[in-house]
Amino acid sequence: MGRRHPLPRLWLMTDERQGEALWEALRRLPRGAGIVFRHYGLATAERRALFRRVRATARARGLTLLVAGLPCGAADGAHNRRSAGLRSASAHDLGELRAAERRGAGLVFVSPVYPTRSHPGAAPLGPRRFGALARRTRLPVVALGGMDAPGFRRLRGAHGWAAIDAWLSRGRGRR
């Protein structure tokens, strides 16, 4: 599955905590958005089966799909590992940003921008430190961590934003 889409500005990070709400989140994503399929905690067979369902939805809706962790099947690329297609990486500081550049990432998810349920107690970067990191790379930077549309509008230097909860009806904000 090669790159068929422009680089998305909006992303959904999948997570076991979503449960059946994952399908609602996928429906809320606009055409051309991206998905990073994670679900690290599932048994291999269960993870592959879920990946196949997510991949079918992504293909039908024109969404870019990256897979994190062990490969589950054909995708548009991978997150935090080598793969054909688009490679993304996560970064929390300048050292990790430079490592993503050296590994040939095509985009980088910088986090946590704001306080987030995914990493309780982690010190958020905030808009100023996020902007300072974003200015230090030529890679497209996607903001992650407590993100929603209003939070994205407060940032400088971001190509786009990614979230888990913002794509759910109980989330703080949509596109």
Assign 3-class secondary structure to 4-72. CCCCCCEEEECCHHHCCHHHHHHHHCCCCCEEEECCCCCCHHHHHHHHHHHHHHHHHHCCEEEEECCCC
Share of the chain above pLDDT 70, in %: 94
pLDDT > 50? residue 67 = yes
* Residue at 69 is within a domain: yes
Q: What pLDDT is stored for residue 5 in this prediction?
A: 58
Domain residues for the domain of 50 are: 10-167
What is the domain-level CATH number for residue 32?
3.20.20.70
* Residue at 49 is within a domain: yes
Residue 88: φ, ψ to 5°: -115, 165
* Residue at 127 is within a domain: yes
* Residue at 5 is within a domain: no
CB 163 within 8 A of CB 143: no
Q: Measured between alpha carbons, how far is 175 from 168 in angstroms, rounded to an integer?
A: 11
Rounded mean pLDDT, 17-28: 93
Rounded mean pLDDT, 107-119: 93
Rounded mean pLDDT, 93-101: 97
Predicted model pTM: 0.92
pLDDT > 90? residue 85 = yes
Q: What pLDDT is stored for residue 117 in this prediction?
A: 84
Q: What pLDDT is stored for residue 15 in this prediction?
A: 87
| Domains contained in the chain, number | 1
pLDDT-derived band at 172 (thresholds 50, 70, 90) equals very low
pLDDT > 60? residue 4 = no
Q: What pLDDT is stored for residue 70 in this prediction?
A: 82
pLDDT greater at residue 170 or residue 175: 170
* Residue at 3 is within a domain: no
